[in-house]
Amino acid sequence: MWTLVLITLLVSGSSNGGVATTTSFIDFQEEAKCRSAADAIASTQQLSPTPSGVHPNISPSAFYRVVAQCLAR
């Protein structure tokens, strides 16, 4: 049995912003399926809630990262 551990981090781009995290677990019967899912899910992105110039930007941009790691059980 293989378990995919997902850790999601969200960091505000604001100087007075914060950090949020979540952890999730998904079980797989085969290592190959677990690793395939981990590769598809893991990412790092910058979020910009509104395009500049459309209206006042009331939310700062943020960064998120999804860490995906397979573990044998």
| Predicted pLDDT of residue 26 | 96
| Predicted pLDDT of residue 40 | 92
| Predicted pLDDT of residue 54 | 60
Amino acid identity of residue 59, one-letter, is: S
Domain boundaries, the chain: 2-72
Owner of token pair 């990262």: 65
Per-residue pLDDT of the chain (73 residues; tens, 9 = 90+): 999 999 999 888 777 778 889 999 999 999 999 999 999 998 877 666 556 556 555 566 778 889 999 999 8
